[in-house]
């Protein structure tokens, strides 16, 4: 019985891990589709407005993405190197270059708002801020539908992310963590550099999270309850089986007692003891005729 239970538990873990991997894959696919859609709307806004270099513009989004904010800015690589970029929630430090190098680049900023938990999640943690992010593209020709993605090299200096809507009562919570959903699909956890401020060295999406001890306790309680119920079922089955055997034994004893009572025996004294004695029937001798 213990070996069967251990195999059941192992299969449960394998099934849970497979489900988590499947859900994580679905989340990655959804977030990639969103990034492509957001980039498309951002560049359409640039084409319509003929933007000036260094000016931040809000992208026009459809009604089904209401609650999400997207903005875009075009910069020359020389300005990014000399001054960096301080737009939206992000501060990209000076001495930053794009890889590969281009003359003009576009930075698309996102604030997913109430869509944050729909596209991004971290098992065991809860989001306590909106997911914000930025992506960098080649802006040499904004009318080209085949936009090239770029990466940034900050020469070892961090990119800071400010979360203005995150407040801490009595100082920064020691369990609070920064989470970075990097463009290559990896997830990174780090401590906050200061209240409401996270740091990164690459583009991606970012949020502030707290662990979920209550869910962990509920998992343990569910597991304990399952084990108690399982062993309780075994005990109930054993008690029922034992009760059936006891009833059957008593029934046999009652039948034997009834059979003994139906057999009437006479008593006879042997010495000082009274012993049962069966009635003896003897055949009477028949006298032969003398004739």
**CATH, residue 64:** 2.60.220
Rounded Cα gap, residues 85 and 72, in angstroms:
12
For residue 236, is it within any domain? yes
Mean pLDDT, range 126-135, rounded to an integer: 92
Boundaries of domain holding 229: 213-260
Mean pLDDT, range 128-143, rounded to an integer: 87
Are 101 and 241 part of one and the same domain? no
What total number of domains does the chain contain?
2
| 59 and 42 Cβ atoms separated by less than 8 Å | yes
Are 193 and 237 part of one and the same domain? no
pLDDT for the residue numbered 266: 55
For residue 188, is it within any domain? yes
Count of other CB atoms within 10 angstroms of residue 74: 19
For residue 284, is it within any domain? no
Specify the range with the lowest mean pLDDT, choosing from 124-128, 189-193, 213-217: 213-217
Are 231 and 159 part of one and the same domain? no
Are 60 and 97 part of one and the same domain? yes
Rounded Cα gap, residues 14 and 174, in angstroms:
33
Percent of the chain with pLDDT over 70: 71
Band (pLDDT 50/70/90 cuts) for residue 260 is: low
Are 79 and 161 part of one and the same domain? yes
Rounded Cα gap, residues 32 and 20, in angstroms:
18
For residue 163, is it within any domain? yes
Rounded Cα gap, residues 191 and 210, in angstroms:
11
Instruction: Measure the CA dihedral 37/39/41/44, to 10°.
Output: -140
Are 157 and 230 part of one and the same domain? no
DSSP tag of 157: P
Residues in the chain: 291
Say whether pLDDT at 65 is over 70.
yes
For residue 165, is it within any domain? yes
Which residue intervals of the chain are DSSP H helices? 2-49, 77-83, 116-119, 213-262
187-195 long-range contacts, CB within 8 A, separation 24+: 187/122, 189/122, 193/158, 193/160, 195/166, 195/168, 195/171
Are 247 and 179 part of one and the same domain? no
Name the token pair of 218.
């509920």
Q: Which residue has the higher pLDDT, 225 or 80?
A: 80
Are 18 and 106 part of one and the same domain? yes
Are 94 and 224 part of one and the same domain? no
Are 159 and 224 part of one and the same domain? no
For 97, list phi and psi in degrees, rounded to 5. Answer: -125, 155
- Model confidence pTM above 0.75: no
Mean pLDDT, range 37-45, rounded to an integer: 81
Rounded Cα gap, residues 158 and 94, in angstroms:
10
For residue 161, is it within any domain? yes
Rounded Cα gap, residues 76 and 102, in angstroms:
8
Q: Which residue has the higher pLDDT, 243 or 150?
A: 150
Are 145 and 85 part of one and the same domain? yes
For residue 271, is it within any domain? no
Are 183 and 226 part of one and the same domain? no
For residue 42, is it within any domain? yes
């Amino acid at each position: 019985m213990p070996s069967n239970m251990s195999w059941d538990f192992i299969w449960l873990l394998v099934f849970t891990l497979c489900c988590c991997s499947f859900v994580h894959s679905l989340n990655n696919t959804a977030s990639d589709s969103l990034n492509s859609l957001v980039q498309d709307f951002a560049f359409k806004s640039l084409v319509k407005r003929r933007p000036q270099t260094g000016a931040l513009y809000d992208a026009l989004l459809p009604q089904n993405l209401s609650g999400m904010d997207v903005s875009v800015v075009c910069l020359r690589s020389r300005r990014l190197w000399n001054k960096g970029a301080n737009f939206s929630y992000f501060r990209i430090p000076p001495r930053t270059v794009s890889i590969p190098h281009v003359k003009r680049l576009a930075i698309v900023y996102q604030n997913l708002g109430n869509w944050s938990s729909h596209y991004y999640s971290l098992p065991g943690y809860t989001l306590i801020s909106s997911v914000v992010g930025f992506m960098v593209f080649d802006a040499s020709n904004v009318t080209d539908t085949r936009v090239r993605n770029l990466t940034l090299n900050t020469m070892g200096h961090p990119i800071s992310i400010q979360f203005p809507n995150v407040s801490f009562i009595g100082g920064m919570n020691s369990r609070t963590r920064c989470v970075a959903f990097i463009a290559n699909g990896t997830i990174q956890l780090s401590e906050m550099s200061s209240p409401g401020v996270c740091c990164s060295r690459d583009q991606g999406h970012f949020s502030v999270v707290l662990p979920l001890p209550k869910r962990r306790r509920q998992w343990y309680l569910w597991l304990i309850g399952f084990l108690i119920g399982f062993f309780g079922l075994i005990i109930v089955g054993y008690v029922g089986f034992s009760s059936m055997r006891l009833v059957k034994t008593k029934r046999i004893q009652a039948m034997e007692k009834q059979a003994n009572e139906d057999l009437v025996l006479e008593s006879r004294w042997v010495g000082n003891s009274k012993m049962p004695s069966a009635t003896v029937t003897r055949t009477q001798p028949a006298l032969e005729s003398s004739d």
